[in-house]
Amino acid sequence: MRKFLKKISHPFLKFGLNFYYSKPRNFTYNNIKIKVHSDVFPPKLTFSTKILLDFIQELELENKTFLELGCGSGIISLLATKKGAKATASDINQTALDYLVTNAEKNHLKVEAVYSDLFQNIENHSFDYIIINPPYYPKAAKSIKEQAWFCGENFEYFEKLFHQLPSYLSSETNCFMILSQDCESEKIKAIAIKNAMAFELVLEEKKLVETNYIFKIVVW
């Protein structure tokens, strides 16, 4: 965490990030072209979204039900739709959802965009796939933009997530979560274990200086 805060408080990086965030930016994957609002998690500047996109690109998704919990730009849900899935994309960031609706229309893809605090407004309990790229730095978010990064001082996001998740998991569900070496994964896993879930490593990928891990979350 200290390393991350040091990274983003460096004057040059801070200036660069503020400049980058000053207007909506374009992002493209597999011919899906989207605009990302400056208040939304930037898929271009981070590794996690791209690693998930490459992972999902390889999945057989024809006619599968797919939930991206905390969708940000929604590029992952758009890719899932393009691969034949029935995708639902949820977030607490209304700007992200508004942009996703426009981006979906422009790409002639259909995604159900749902405003939801975690699973609060998610009615379907039997998705074939659930994909989560969570906020994981232990700090209280001061804005909607910061909610993409910070999970609360005491990991409140994960406490709530792992409390709700079991009723959405069956032996048929493929629930994948990406975490980085930068986060306190042992603490996050402990919260899952407390709620009778376990993490199985399915992919480890190093990009530049950061290693990311995709875990399958399973019920004991």
Ligand X SMILES: C[S@@+](CC[C@H](N)C(=O)[O-])C[C@H]1O[C@@H](n2cnc3c(N)ncnc32)[C@H](O)[C@@H]1O
Residue 163 Cβ vs ligand X, minimum distance, rounded to whole Å: 12
| Six token digits for residue 23 | 């207007």
Residues 6+ apart with CB under 8 A from 29: 43, 50, 53, 75, 79
For residues 25 and 36, is the Cβ–Cβ distance under 8 A? yes
Residue 60 Cβ vs ligand X, minimum distance, rounded to whole Å: 21
Q: Is 68 in the site for ligand X (CB under 6 A)?
A: yes
Contact window for ligand X (CB under 6 A) among 19-27, 64-72, 101-109, 186-194:
64-72
Residue 1 Cβ vs ligand X, minimum distance, rounded to whole Å: 15
| Six token digits for residue 210 | 């950061």
What is d(CA 203, CA 162) in angstroms, rounded to the nearest whole number? 21
Q: Which is nearer to ligand X, 31 or 171 (CB)?
A: 31
Q: Is 138 in the site for ligand X (CB under 6 A)?
A: no
Q: Is 43 in the site for ligand X (CB under 6 A)?
A: yes
Residue 102 Cβ vs ligand X, minimum distance, rounded to whole Å: 16
Residue with tokens 């393009």: 82
Q: Which is nearer to ligand X, 7 or 12 (CB)?
A: 7
Contact window for ligand X (CB under 6 A) among 24-32, 66-74, 104-112, 166-174:
66-74
11 backbone dihedrals φ, ψ, rounded to 5° = -55, -40
What is d(CA 199, CA 219) in angstroms, rounded to the nearest whole number? 9
Any idea what the Cα angle at residue 170 is, between residues 164 and 176, rounded to 5°?
70
Contacts with ligand X, 78-117, as mask; x by CB under 6 A? ------------xxxx--x--------------------x
Taking CB under 6 A as the criterion, which residues in 160-179 touch ligand X? none
Contact window for ligand X (CB under 6 A) among 45-53, 166-174, 196-204, 208-216:
45-53
Residues 6+ apart with CB under 8 A from 66: 77, 80, 81, 85, 86, 87, 88, 127, 128, 129, 130, 131
Kindly list the residues in this chain that would bind ligand X in the complex (CB under 6 A): 41, 43, 48-49, 52, 68, 70-73, 76, 90-93, 96, 117-118, 133, 135, 147-148, 157
